[in-house]
Structure 1
Amino acid sequence: MSGTVTEQLIEEHLVEGQMEPGEEIALEIDQTLTQDATGTMVMLELEAMDVEHLESELSAQYVDHNLIQEDNKNPDDHLFLNSACEKWGIWYSAAGNGVSHPVHQQRFGVPGKTLLGSDSHTPAAGAMGMLAIGSGGLDIAMAMAGEPYHVNMPEVWGVELRGELPEWCSAKDVILEMLRRHDVDGGVGRVIEYHGPGLETLTAMDRHVIANMGTELGATSTVFPADDAVRDFLVQQKRKEDFRELRANDDAEYHVTETIRLDEIEPLIAKPSSPGNVVPVADVAGDDLYQAYIGSSANPGLRDFAVPAMMVEGRRVPPEVSFDVNPTSRQMLQNLTEMGYLGDLYASGARVHQAGCNGCIGMGQAPATGRNSLRTVPRNFPGRTGTREDSVFLCSPETATASALAGKITDPRTLEDTHDMTAPNWTEPDEAIVDESALSPPPENPGGELEKGPNVKSLPDFERVPDALSGPVLMKVGDDISTDEIMPAGSDVLPYRSNIPRISEWVFDQIEQGFYKRAQEQGAPWMAVGGSNYGQGSSREHAALAPYYLGMRAALAVSYARIHWQNLVNFGIVPLEFADRADYDAIEQGDTLELPNVRKEMQEDSEITVQNTTQDTTFTAEHSLSPRQVDIVLQGGLIEDYKN
């Protein structure tokens, strides 16, 4: 048996390949998670694949992103998803039941299982001793149909935790410390595994906070052991029979090692507009504040609301500050109410919203233009809030609440002097209210027809890659471009998640308003060029599928984020990397690139000839696809490959 928890999980589920870092492996998937912003595509893909029944051990569909019902589109899609759950035998979590990740951990998290989710923050379930990976929707559909999941074997990055967090600091400051050290691409090709004596001071939901935002480091996943903290959590959730101890062996060896002394952690904050732009809160203390926002999958635990409630008890937030509370589940609201914390939040002037992702994904709670918003969410990419010129900081619940009370960005440690406040002393209760009233189990006899509203459109047709490709560089972007910038979130855009023709109108809109018209005028094929870490962030496959619909057939980048790279493969877009960054620098937007032998060269080698006919130059690009992935791309994507 392999030594680390990660290796144990992989070994137990290995179907194909060797456990050598960088080698492609295939894993058996026990559970799948879909949410409504991506799940509609998964169900349409199952339909396109002619899947009659599912093979996954457990699949759950959550409605948590698109909750605003300003017209028919979102509620129609909710009915569509419910009908898909009836048809294929899937758990259905209705609108208002809560955010997928904490609800899944509460109701379905089981140590030792694999989980594949069409949401990039699926690794949050690693808090339970699971191997949980985020991926594009088509990969999830394949797993639901019983196909193994292919991924490159990661390195295991062992992070030893020592000591105990000081007062006014919490788990969010731990993951922000990791981002301060390593930025948004430090975890690429790795699973982060936390170990050491400091774990004893972190609850299962504290670990959820850290595992959730491992995604912002670019990591394949994050894994914690299944120990006493996980047992306590399952007992609290009335599921103690699901516990299985899972720990690293004493002789476990990690490919990369690091130590964090928890007692040296200080309150941290990620400045606009990247999760990796981390500084001490003290560095920006005193800056103006418009909004303080607590909640989201990145801080979903009972303590993440109870501690702010304890801080504001008997106090009032200044009227010029919008103090937004976004509960993560219906169950959470019941517990906060029963314990009296919800009343304290209301009395402080807080605006309490329905349980769901809400402002994290740009569905309400958008800040005013150019005003500072402090949020406990996982991302602060430009415009993600729904406000194009937003100014979002990522921080802990303690920092957000301290700032709300002070009316300016505030280091929570200073409240001891300014507000005569001692640090709240929180202890997780042994028992909690469990509410499954809005969680519908799969029917005993799945079947029936899909209920499609007028906004649900079938997938486009996919073409085989021709012998040669030629087209203009219609868009050139820099480093760390996120999928939010390729395919924005927000209340204007995401309601069209099941309507590719319509949602394509927002492709690259954050970068260039009006790009859609240029793409329409150009037609297929065209190419996009990106810098390093192209496509970081969300798993939404719309960032590949909508550009494909507009005619994009190839991408050239210095490097790719893992999920977006796989999504390009899944929809038949050729993903190439520059062998020399100087070739990236030399290309101008509008240049015409030709891949004269792309099909033959991809089948024979990893080097691809690229001719810049505008500049009359030739250079070599590379691909890092396995032979299996080459076949998928050349056939026009994973659906065509599955059907053939």
Structure 2
Amino acid sequence: MRMIGQDSLKTRRTLTAGGKSYDYFSIPEAGKALGTDLARLPVTLKILLENILRFEDGRTYTTDDAKALAGWLDAARSDKEVPFRPARILMQDFTGVPAVVDLAAMRDGMIRLGGDPQKVNPLVPVDLVIDHSVMVDEFGKADSFTKNVDVEFERNAERYVFLRWGQGSFNRFRVVPPGTGICHQVNLEYLAQAVWTDTVDGVEIAYPDTCYGTDSHTTMVNGMGVLGWGVGGIEAEAAMLGQAIAMLIPDVIGFKLKGRLPEGATATDLVLTVTQMLRKKGVVGKFVEFYGPGLDEMTVADRATIANMAPEYGATCGFFPVDAATLGYLKLSGRDEARIALVEEYWKAQGMFREKNTPDPVFTDTLELDMGTVQPSLAGPKRPQDRVLLKDATKAFADELTKSLGVAPADVAKKMKVEGTNYELGHGDVVIAAITSCTNTSNPYVMVAAGLVARKARQMGLTVKPWVKTSLAPGSQVVTEYLEKAGLQVDLDAMGFNLVGYGCTTCIGNSGPLADPIVDAIENGKLVVASVLSGNRNFEGRVHANVRANYLASPPLVVAYAIAGTMNIDIATEPLGTGKDGKPVYLRDIWPSNKEIADTVHGTLTRQMFQSRYGDVFKGPKQWQSIAVDGGETYRWNDGSTYVKNPPYFEGMTMAVGDVTDIRGARILALLADSITTDHISPAGSIKKTSPAGEYLVERQIQQRDFNSYGARRGNHEVMMRGTFANIRIKNEMVPGIEGGITKHHPSGEVLPIYDAAMRYKAEGVPLVVIGGKEYGTGSSRDWAAKGTMLLGVKAVIAQSFERIHRSNLVGMGVLPLVFKEGMDRRTLGFTGEELLDVEGLTALKPRMELSLVIHRPGGTVDRVPVLCRVDTLDEVEYYRHGGILQYVLRGMAKAA
């Protein structure tokens, strides 16, 4: 039950909606009490303020926190920190399984500390959606979906038994079974309510729906006025156990939208444009709030597409306030009429409901886009912010091929025969075309556009090239229903885009295998082949190990590139192929009009579809229902399991907290460049047989075909330790010219896998550090990127800058994030990897303090340079002192028992 604070500011009021009364904590009344007109405070900050008003207790939440938020208006920024507790937690299974493993381990730890294991229970609602485990093993056939689901349950039996145990053992913990949809689309279409309610002392309390998610694209739900963002699993666990997470009051960047999308442009093109603009602006750690007359022209589906990609533009969130369009979407998607009435009355009572005459909020800074200028685009070949206009894509790829992708100019035209076929493969040929990912499959307009392109292409006699692996993985079953009702699924099937599963698939790296002859041609010819996917991530080594160029595009463009089969033709001006009448067919010939798309959506998508598909959402398929589990408040760990193991975080833990000490005599484990992603640090894709993780599995008699993926094995810390920094494309500058998780051990100089070197250093009693460049930890909110780092013995990561979630995760695992001062980096300091490092000043640790990095060079020279400690808040200081956030929370619960 959620406790209500003491209401020192006297802001508790009552409203009536749908014939019911609700208490709420009034933001306008808070403004009066604080002597500040809060009308133009950004909506996102109003939501943070309400959180303080509701929980204010004079201890964790204080009136000074409320004053700090109101005072933000003075300079449109603040250096104060405030606590925040979300209404609920959202998880997917790749991040959810290790989080539930941690909770199970905490129950064991609680018993060792003499406490009650039932104290380890979520205090806020938690929904875990199993969506990351389905792989595209089968494709292009009518039974692809059924076969992929069967294989998924076979591969993941141990994980699913464990989750079924968690579902029965933990309070306020629900599991959406496999085969239902992607967590963010399920959140948007069903779980989110825009206003949440709790009954406290017999009174129903209304408050904003807010959400932490263990996936960075939790921000998608910002498109319907729900403030939520991605956090690491460890931070989510603390929040679900009642821990308020302190955060610096963010800068809020206003993004003004005006106009409307022109003919031929899609929401995908819009979001790629927005992503590029905001990444260039620099919004890491900031809130982005969209406003302006352009919102009147935007559906919630389009807003959610933009909100989804907040991690790609670097923001904490990309928020759209509730307005008439939101209410319309709530009705369409089958929400309860009484809840819709409450959403309207609540948001209006709080002065947060957006209307045409609503005054623009005050923002830290602003930027503006006329949507009428948006042009068809792709992003790639390595980063989502690297947008290229469709008309320039062929030339841009050719430039990348001989630059960042490393192909010699003389080899550009190389072709390799594909054994057993009548075709050749060359650089730039598209081998994967995937309609996938929450970003776009939640948007019926781009999905219908893909179906219409497939229909027109089929009618004109075009086919997909035989070397292209095609797949359709919608984010919910509703997509299948409206595509079938519109008659478009038949056309997609005919073009090879058969349903393969309801899950992330290609976007998370679960693209499945390519045909052996194609792999042989790629590897023997060292070919740079391409994928085109309607996803949000295209980092190196993510989509498929053999595919080095990866482009994000709208679903209709995915179909078009599957027909073209290559990046080497300009599909904006050159023919896609020859029609059945012998004439060339161009993209313009098969591209639907905006009206055609809208008419199809409005004629097929109904409220009844959502109500039907989500009517029994937690039941799951027969395979899920048949899983038998043992009950019990603690989990019966299976020592032989290669999927789920009891992690070592609480071994030997006592109630005593040790003193923080300086780091002495550390060696450098890895020396890394800019834009190191969590995919580089903690890969989610396939496991190589010759890697330390592969060798571990082989030693346990696991066949390579049953390796599954790193993501699926995150419940086993032994696999994940071995997988940390094991991405096949990571480049450690200590071993130049070598790709993969390799390093050099010092002082021996021996070249080893990073895991093996780390274990040798651990045996030698040597602490480790990692050196990075700018934007260290970009990408997915993977707690394993921090957990694996800690388990390898890394005490500090020193970089030029950090992405928000990974920095927080490092602190949460007791790893020190440090930032070089302006003008300093690994190159100016001349790091080679042979140095010994000390970090001094930790005994008096304070938030964001300056520490000394002492560099002992091989020749005996000693340099001392300042570094900024990115332990940002007083709460984070406590987490670090305790060895991590979970240890801090567990000791607190045991003490209170």
Query: Do residues 386 (structure 1) and 574 (structure 2) align?
Result: no
- Residues 618 and 461 from structure 1, CA distance in 2 versus in 1: closer, same or farther, beyond 3 angstroms? same
Partner of 1:461: 649
The answer for the alignment partner of 1:59 in structure 2 is: 126
Distance in 1, matches of 2:883 and 2:807, equals 15
What are the superposed Cα offsets for residues 162-201 of structure 1, whole Å, 9 maximum, x if unpaired? 1110122111112211232243782212111111221222
1:132 aligns with 2:228: yes
Where does residue 606 of structure 1 map in the other structure? Answer: 849
**Contact 2:220-2:305 within 8 A present in 1 as well:** yes
Q: What aligned pairs does 1:339-350 form with structure 2 within 5 A after superposition?
A: 339-350=486-497
**Which residue does the alignment assign to 1:109?**
192
Mapped to 2, the partners of 1:255 and 1:242 lie a distance apart of 33
Letter in 1 for 2:664: L
Deviation digits for residues 452-500 of structure 1, max 9, x if unmatched?
5512112223685534433111101111110000111114322220111
Query: Does structure 1 retain, via aligned residues, the 8 Å contact 2:530–2:547?
Result: no
Is the alpha carbon distance of 1:71 and 1:214 closer, same or farther for their aligned partners in structure 2, counting shifts above 3 Å?
Answer: closer
Q: Bigger shift: 449-458 or 620-629?
A: 449-458
8 Å Cα contact 1:54-1:146 kept in structure 2 = no
C-alpha RMSD of matched pairs (Å): 2.6
Partner of 1:494: 711
Contact in 2 for aligned 1:29/1:56 (Cα 8 Å): no
Letter of the 1:335 counterpart: Y
Matches within 5 A, 1:370-381: 370-381=528-539
Distance 1:411 1:396, change over 3 A: farther
Structure-1 residue corresponding to 2:748:
none
Does structure 1 residue 84 correspond to structure 2 residue 173?
Answer: no
The alpha-carbon deviation at position 440 of structure 1 amounts to 4.6
- TM (norm. structure 2) is 0.68
Q: Output the CA distance in 2 between the equivalents of 1:53 and 1:640.
A: 12
What SS class does the counterpart of residue 566 from structure 1 fall into? helix
Alignment of 1:495-644 (within 5 A): 495-510=712-727, 511=730, 512-513=740-741, 514-523=753-762, 524-585=766-827, 586-595=829-838, 597-603=840-846, 606-614=849-857, 615-624=861-870, 625-644=872-891
Q: Secondary structure at the match of 1:420?
A: helix
Instruction: Select between 244-253 and 78-87 the one with higher mean Cα deviation.
Output: 244-253
Superposed, 1:133-532 pairs within 5 Å as: 133-183=229-279, 186-239=282-335, 240-243=337-340, 244-245=343-344, 246=347, 247-248=353-354, 249-285=358-394, 288-301=429-442, 302-314=444-456, 315=458, 316-320=462-466, 321-365=468-512, 369=522, 370-387=528-545, 389-409=547-567, 417=586, 420-424=589-593, 425-427=596-598, 428=601, 429-434=605-610, 435-436=613-614, 437-440=616-619, 448-450=633-635, 452=637, 454=641, 455-461=643-649, 465-492=660-687, 493-510=710-727, 511=730, 512-513=740-741, 514-523=753-762, 524-532=766-774
Shift of 1:352: 2.6
Q: Is the 8 A contact 1:295 1:305 kept in 2?
A: no
Contact 1:119/1:539 (CA < 8 Å) preserved in 2?
yes
Deviation at 1:262, TM superposition (A): 0.7
Q: Structure 2 CA distance, aligned partners of 1:578 and 1:330?
A: 48
Asked whether the 8 Å contact 1:268–1:395 carries over to 2, the reply is yes
Match of 1:23 among 57, 80, 98: 80
Instruction: Write the deviation string for residues 495-540 of structure 1: whole angstroms up to 9, x where unpaired.
Output: 2201112211121122233222222222251000111111010111
Assess, with a 3 A threshold, how the Cα gap between structure 1 residues 324 and 626 changes in structure 2: closer, same or farther. Answer: same
Q: Is residue 473–residue 589 contact of structure 1 (8 Å, CA) maintained in 2?
A: no
Please report how far the alpha carbon of residue 366 of structure 1 lies from its aligned counterpart in structure 2 after TM superposition: 5.8
Comparing 189-198 with 420-429, greater Cα deviation is found at 420-429
Of 417-426 and 161-170, the range deviating more from structure 2? 417-426
CA–CA separation in structure 2 for the residues paired with 1:386 and 1:25:
42
Give 1:371's aligned amino acid.
V
What CA distance in whole angstroms lies between the structure 1 residues aligned with 2:587 and 2:839? Answer: 68
- The DSSP-based 3-state class of the residue aligned with 1:298 is helix
1:250-298: per-residue Cα shift (whole Å, max 9, x none)?
Answer: 1521111111111110011112111121111111148643332212111
User: Which stretch of the first structure deviates more once superposed, 390-399 or 174-183?
Assistant: 174-183
After superposition, the Cα gap between the structure-2 partners of 1:419 and 1:606, relative to the gap in structure 1 and judged at 3 Å, is closer
1:77 Cα offset (Å): 0.8
Q: Which residue of 2 aligns with 1:9?
A: 47
Q: Distance in 1 between matches of 2:446 and 2:636?
A: 38
TM-score, reference length from structure 1: 0.93
Q: Is the 8 A contact 1:267 1:399 kept in 2?
A: no
Question: Percent identity between the aligned chains?
Answer: 27
Query: 1:604 Cα shift?
Result: 8.8
| Residue aligning to 2:399 | none
Distance 2:826 2:439 in 1: 35
Unmatched segments (≥5 aa) in structure 1: none
* Residue-by-residue CA offset, 1:149-170 (whole Å, 9 max, x unaligned): 3222211111111111012211
Distance of 1:49 and 1:544 partners within structure 2: 18
Counterparts of 1:542 and 1:70, CA distance in 2: 22
Contact between 1:31 and 1:57, CA under 8 Å: does it hold in 2? yes
Letter aligned with residue 328 of structure 1:
G
The aligned counterpart of 2:104 is 47
Question: Bigger CA drift: 368-377 or 244-253?
Answer: 244-253
Structure 1: how far apart are the matches of 2:848 and 2:317? 30
Cα pair distance change 1:604/1:276, threshold 3 Å? closer
AA in 2 matched with 1:187: V
- Supply the distance in 2 between the matched residues of 1:209 and 1:619 (Cα, whole angstroms): 44
Superposed CA deviations along residues 535-594 of structure 1, whole A, max 9, x for unmatched, are 010111100101211111111111111100000000101111112442532242423343
Residue-pair matches, total: 640
- Asked whether the 8 Å contact 2:814–2:883 carries over to 1, the reply is yes
SS in 2 for 1:307: helix
Q: Which amino acid aligns with 1:495?
A: A
Contact 1:120 1:537 in 2 (8 A): yes
**Greater mean alpha carbon deviation, residues 586-595 or residues 395-404:** 586-595
Asked whether the 8 Å contact 2:266–2:446 carries over to 1, the reply is: no
Q: Tell whether the 8 Å contact from 1:156 to 1:190 is kept in structure 2 after alignment.
A: yes
Displacement of 1:337 in angstroms is 2.4
Aligned-partner Cα distance in 2 for 1:303–1:56: 38
Map of 2:205 onto structure 1: none
**Counterparts in 2 of 1:469 and 1:458: CA distance versus 1, 3 Å:** farther
Q: CA deviation at 1:13?
A: 1.4
| Superposition deviation, residue 82 in structure 1 | 2.2
CA distance in 2 between counterparts of 1:603 and 1:467 reads 14
Residue 487 of structure 2 aligns with an amino acid whose one-letter code is G
Q: Which residue of 1 aligns with 2:182?
A: 99
Of residues 6-15 and 498-507 in structure 1, the stretch that sits farther from structure 2 once superposed is 6-15
CA distance 1:531–1:581, shift in 2 (3 Å) = farther
Distance 1:82 1:201, change over 3 A: farther
The 2-side partners of 1:209 and 1:366 are apart by 29
Give me the whole-angstrom Cα distance separating, in 1, the residues matched to 2:244 and 2:223: 23
